[in-house]
Amino acid sequence: MKDYVVLNKIKESGICAIVRGTSADSLCKITDALIEGGVNAIEVTFNTPGASEMIEELVKKYSHQMLIGAGTVLDAETARIAILSGASFILSPSLNIDMIKLCSRYSVLPVPGISTPTEAVTAWENGAKIVKVFPAGVLGPSYIKQLKGPLSQIDMMAVGAVSIDNFADFIKAGACSAGIGGELVNKELVEEGKFKEITKRAKKFVDTFNKIKQN
């Protein structure tokens, strides 16, 4: 899938579920719960043991239903492993130019992490069409609104402490989507097998996003 197709799908869905530190046994149950809740983009972070194998498994089973990406990718070497595993988008908490260029070479969407206008422009100049504003919870929705003023050409994903309480504020401020971790794929819920609660939370985020886009 071409990078621009993936970008459009991320913008259409508005929500990327972040899966971190889970077991391979729970992964499919989490994914099923998210799909049932209407979420169709997921990232497995590379500080999760067995992340590349998990991505491969998701691609085999769910690539017709979900966008599958890799998160916490810090360098080009890790990006290559993720791409070989089948990831269609690569997120990083930081700005690494080599990672952007490697992803672009293989038409895989890079989503580098930025927290300043200079980093956002640097990412854009090196080929990134969307950036991950991180840590969004610290910077706040108004920060994204300020960034989007002079940098309206750059799509922005809010990541970091995004909750159902502030999600709408980030989207209204100009974020095209949000990466959501613990507020959606909660570790305790997974350990207790409460996957229906994950579905319930997913529906809340999806409904909130759809309502904003309809107005």
Query: How many residues can be counted in the chain?
Result: 215
- The active-site residue out of 57, 132, 148, 183 is 132
Block residue for tokens 């990083």: 92
Q: Which two structure tokens, joined as six digits, stand for 75?
A: 């360098």
- How many CB atoms neighbour CB 125 within 10 A? 10
Of the candidates 43, 57, 148, 183, the residue annotated as catalytic is: 43
Q: Which of 168, 192, 191 is nearest to 180 (CA)?
A: 168
Q: How far apart are the first and last CA of the chain?
A: 30
Angle between helices 51-62 and 76-84 (to 10 degrees): 40
β-strand pairing of 177-180 with 41-45: unpaired
Is 43 one of the catalytic residues? Answer: yes
User: Can 2 be counted among the known catalytic residues?
Assistant: no
The residues carrying an active-site annotation are 43, 132
